[in-house]
Every structure is written in C-alpha cells, then in structure tokens.
Amino acid sequence: MDTLDPTATGTSPAQLPQVQTPRNPGLALDLDWVRGAQANTSAIERRAATIGTRRSVKKDHQAAWLARAITLIDLTTLAGDDTEGRVRRLCAKAASPVRADLLAALGLEGLTTGAVCVYHDMVETAVDALRGTGIPVAAVSTGFPAGLSPFHLRVAEIGESVAAGAHEIDIVISRRHVLTGDWAALYDEMKTFREACGEAHVKAILATGELGTLRNVARASLVCMMAGADFIKTSTGKEPVNATLPVSLVMMRAIRDYHQRTGIRVGYKPAGGISKAKDALTYLALVKDELGDRWLRPDLFRFGASSLLGDIERQLEHHVSGHYSAAHRHAIG
C-alpha cells in the first residue's frame, strides 16, 4: 500500500514555510473550453472509492499530516445565534488550536488554523480578536447561502465586508445560471464579484449538491476560474449534500486543467460534512495525487469546517498519550 510521505518537500507538512500564490487575474470566457468539459460519472465514482484504500499514514507520519491539516482549516461559525463572545472564543481557538503540552510533545510550535470564517456581522469582532496573529478573516457574502437577494445588494455586501476588514470573501453563485447553461451570465456575475472584492481573495461557492450533474460542476468550476476566482469551493454547508470525493475529484481536475493551460494556480476548498480526522487525510491524499504538493498549503487549499479540529486534536492526543480523551476536553469555542 502506498504511503503519503510527509517529508516529500524536505520538511514536515506542519512546518512548511508560508507563501502566497499570485492572484488569479482571470481570462476571457472560452465557451468552447467550457462546453468541451465532460464528466464520466461511473469512472469518477470508481476512482473516488479507491482514495481511502490506496493511501495510508501511520504513527509519526499521521501526526504530521494531521498537524498540517489544522493549518488548512477555515475555522467556521455560521449560526443564527452567533454572538461576539462565541466568535472571540473561536478566534482564540484558531490562534491556539492545539493544547500547548501536545504541541511540545510533538515538537511543534506556532500552529494556527488557516482562517476564521464568519457572517458579515461578525467580521469586525473577528478582525479585532485576531489582531497580531496573522490569521485572516473570511466572510461569507452575496446573500449566503441561497444567493437570491437583489444583485446590487449582493455586490454591496462584498464591499461592506471588505471595508470591515475581511481578507477573504466566500461568494455564492446563482445556481440557475448553471442549471440553464447560461455560462455568460455566470461569468459576468463572478467577474463583478471579483472586482468588488478588490484586494481581498475571493472563493466561489458552487453549491455542488444543487447543480444536478458532475458535468455541470466541471463547467461551473471553469467559468468561475475564468472570471477570476482565487478559490473554488464545493458548498455552503447548508445544502443536503455538501463536499464529496467525486465532486472534489471533478473540481480538482478542473483546477489542474486550468493551471496546465494558463500557468495560474487556483485554490480548492471542500466544505460541509468533513468532521473526522480520517476524512481530512483522505482529502489530503486526493490533493497530493491530483494537484501535487504545492496545493498542500493554506494559500491553495482549505477545509471549511468547525468540528474537524476537535477530532484532529483528539487523534493527536492519542498519538502522544496512547489514550483517547473525551470530546469536551477539546472544545472549539
């Protein structure tokens, strides 16, 4: 059985030097390229089913990969009952995601999550709580999660979040453009959102569980990248079906195709339903196989998750002590 090598790049995945890939400037809409994108569903599902069986990591290698996964998490709270206190506790967890004694035993220090993701109303609170940590704040926007508010208000919402200090904006596309094959409308929408973000990085949420087919997922991925998306993201986390391995495979291959044709790297973010450490390892194996080591950094890969961090911390404690602790000992907020 193959083994993921955490030292393939010469250093532990938890300690890779941080870099920032250039923004995706986008390009003109190429409808021939878009319409030529296909998806063989049965082959994709067979390939996805093998990911968890072909790759494995054990002991120190597993701990290293789990530590790396922490640095790739957008620690998220998107609840209607969010309060400033909850967001500040979440930010404190993002800055110190693993107990100091466990980090010392693992020989790691300075570990943080990739970002904190909140609704617009909590952006200023998160920015203040994270001041000095270097952790960016991401805001969901454009009428999240449905994306059905008036278009001018969706654009204005982006500007408000950027003005409040958000470094990253997670926008939701209009699913109807995909379902009706109106690729020009999707391109124009995404391009407008990208321009409204200014210097803030933009993640395009495709809501893949609502797009009908994997072919639609492939085509929507390409259109959003052509329009300047810095990341493409599976889901809002609010759909009945969120991130899955088949969808991830399709989106990663669209990213690979885009990079091979343009030389531009675009990031990937699976979100919703990824709550276990073993699932995180499976996704990292897929990223390594399909996109390569360069994508195993927070400027090109994120997990949209909240409970995932708690399970990873439990696994790291088991690695250090040989015992599993109760979940409440690793509270997120």
118/153 Cα distance (integer angstroms): 18
With both helix axes pointing from N to C terminus, report the angle between 59-70 and 307-321 in degrees, rounded to the nearest 10.
150
**Cβ–Cβ under 8 Å, residues 48 and 54:** no
3-state DSSP percent of the chain in helix, strand and coil, to 5 = 50, 10, 40
Q: Is 269 a catalytic residue?
A: yes
Q: Is 233 a catalytic residue?
A: yes
Q: Residue 167, SS3?
A: coil
Which is catalytic among the residues 74, 93, 170, 191?
170
Q: Give DSSP secondary structure letters for 39-105.
A: --HHHHHHHHHHHHHHEE--HHHHHHHHHHHHTTEEEE---TT--HHHHHHHHHHHHS-S-HHHHHH
Tokens found for residue 248: 């991830």
Q: Tokens 């993640």 map to which residue?
A: 203
Tokens found for residue 127: 């920015």
Which is catalytic among the residues 93, 191, 269, 288?
269
112/85 Cα distance (integer angstroms): 20
HSE of 315 in the Cβ direction (CA atoms, 13 Å)?
Answer: 25
Which is catalytic among the residues 233, 279, 288, 299?
233
Q: Which residues pair with 203 in a beta bridge?
A: 170, 231
Question: Which sequence positions are flagged as catalytic?
Answer: 170, 233, 269
